Structure 1
Amino acid sequence: MADIGTADVRQYLRGLAVFAGELPEFDPDAAPERPEELFVDWLTGAVDDGVREPHAMTLSTVGADGRPSARVLLLKNVDRHGWQFAAGAASPKGRDLAANPVAALSFHWPQQARQVRITGTVAPEPAERSAADFLARSPGARAEALAGRQSSPLRDVRELELATERALERIEREPGLVVPEWTLYTVRAEQVEFWQADKQRRHTRLRYERVGEDWTRGQLWP
């Protein structure tokens, strides 16, 4: 690990490599008509190139007080209807979405120097779909959601351990148990931007914009 002081951070950061290695080609003229089709192409390409956790994304929301908040979580699905993720309705992100049902998603695949940015409205899926998503989670993940109290102050880690143990025991007794507040959300995209870096900074940006149920697309200046 580098030994640097705070006064040296600027120079240290400027010395870090960016856009290293071979970068994939991107021809925006050959892009499909719908953004979810191009997204799946890029996602599977990231998997093929060994990108770790390529389905991890930054979810940005805005609370009732107007303050933005961002965190990383996993994409659950994408289709013609939108991009899906899941969360507890009583969690900070769930409360944000109840107050302002809009969000931004950001994907970053650094090995390919690619980003995808998505903005749109957010709506909860029906209870049966949320329940199916919850039951598809691992026992540990279900126990974490069942224990609840996400983002509450933790005064003693043993308290967390005991709550998780009790939740796991309950899940073993009731394998079909679903946390009522667990919610599968769908982002109905209004804009989707695909960004491909170039070593000479002539980056390629292609933006899709929704028009009813169809899409227009065009390039942006870097």
Structure 2
Amino acid sequence: MISLRGWQSFPEDLPSFDPDTAPDTPEDLFLEWLTEAGEHVLAPHAVTLSTVDEDGFPDARVVILKDVEPDGWAVATSSESPKGRQLAGDPRAALTFFWPGRGRQVRVRGTFRQATPEVSAADFLARPPASRVEAFIGHQSEVLPDPAKLTEAAEAAELWVAENPDTAPETWTRYLLTPTTVEFWQASHDRRHLRVRYHRDGGTWTHDRLWP
């Protein structure tokens, strides 16, 4: 049996964080932490997107954060994918960033909405060619009865993308999360972890220090 307690959780050297110096908005602190993480870990913009299905069961998967902008925190996917359908049924969702190499975690809760079709199309056309081909293959998360079918679909999608380089699928959607709470967690080896939670009150943010 593997002893899970024997594995190290965080490196010996952890970044410093003074909650008293936290900026007025969570976006400013997040971008500061994201930039710092990008200097040390792979895919700092990878994030766990948590949604609920039509039966109220939670679902989660790792996606890529596209941007943090005044309109919201952006991710993108097909509206026909499981996560797209779940967001259509209940737009309330959460994002979780975890950078174990820095002992940091960021939790975001809020409500998603769809960007305009023009913005979604521009998002798609900015993707690398292989990613655009993947989107045109379709059938995400459906049962694959024969791997040869995937090869056929991929070849057809590759040809379509080559012949229509400026066309985006109508189902491709950029989703924007308007956060209501954003929590920042900094690990400490003495277990007195530092936690700061931002809460949106109308058009302004307030933030508080939390117990570990």
TM-score range, shorter chain: over 0.9
Count of residues paired in the alignment: 212
* Alignment correspondent of 2:18: 27
| Alpha-carbon distance in structure 1 between the residues aligned to 2:193 and 2:71 | 29
Kept in 2, the 8 Å contact 1:83–1:187? The answer is: yes
Which amino acid is the alignment partner of residue 88 of structure 1? S
Please provide the CA RMSD for this pair. 0.8
* TM-score, normalising length: structure 1: 0.94
**What stretches of structure 1 move > 4 A for 4+ residues in a row?**
none
| Alpha-carbon distance in structure 2 between the residues aligned to 1:216 and 1:184 | 28
1:80 aligns to 2:70 (yes or no):
yes
Shift of 1:140: 1.1
Kept in 2, the 8 Å contact 1:104–1:119? The answer is: yes
1:64 aligns to 2:25 (yes or no):
no
Unaligned runs of 5+ in 2: none
Instruction: Note the 1:68-147 alignment, pairs <5 A.
Output: 68-147=58-137
* Alignment correspondent of 2:8: 17
* SS of 2:13 mapped into structure 1: coil
| Alpha-carbon distance in structure 2 between the residues aligned to 1:161 and 1:58 | 29
* Residue 45 of structure 1, aligned match among 22, 36, 48: 36
Which amino acid is the alignment partner of residue 33 of structure 2? W
Deviates more, 1:169-178 or 1:194-203: 169-178
Kept in 2, the 8 Å contact 1:134–1:142? The answer is: yes
Q: Deviations over 1:121-180 (max 9, x none)?
A: 100000000000000111111111111100110011111111011111111111111100
Shift of 1:19: 2.1
Kept in 2, the 8 Å contact 1:61–1:102? The answer is: yes
| Alpha-carbon distance in structure 1 between the residues aligned to 2:198 and 2:14 | 22
Kept in 2, the 8 Å contact 1:35–1:208? The answer is: yes
* TM-score, normalising length: structure 2: 0.98
* Alignment correspondent of 2:192: 202
Instruction: Note the 1:159-198 alignment, pairs <5 A.
Output: 159-198=149-188
